[in-house]
Amino acid sequence: MEGRERLDADTLLGEIRASELLGLSSRTLQAWRSRNEGPPFVRAGRAIRYRRRDLIAWIEANTVTAARFDATEGRRAHETRNT
């Protein structure tokens, strides 16, 4: 395994790798950081890094089920099926 990056929970990913993991553009991550939104990040001087576990936790926290989506939209699931 020499030369291969170890991808444990504490691995720090750069902006490009983080955006690839999330399926987003790096510009989206930049915009979220400027608005204090999105997943937590680590700032080391000018370098921005994301912990892999923080990205996975952020994905889990922002995963929307159909019932939860309908509740946030102010509709019941049976109302949306009939339209």
pLDDT tens digits along 39-51 = 999 999 999 999 9
pLDDT tens digits along 7-41 = 688 899 999 999 999 999 999 999 999 999 999 99
Domains parsed from the chain with CATH numbers: 12-77 (1.10.10)
pLDDT tens digits along 56-72 = 999 999 999 877 666 66
Per the model's pLDDT, the better-predicted residue between 15 and 75 turns out to be 15
> Is the pLDDT score of 3 beyond 50?
no
SS3 content of the chain, % helix, strand, coil (to 5): 45, 10, 40
Six token digits for residue 10: 């504490």
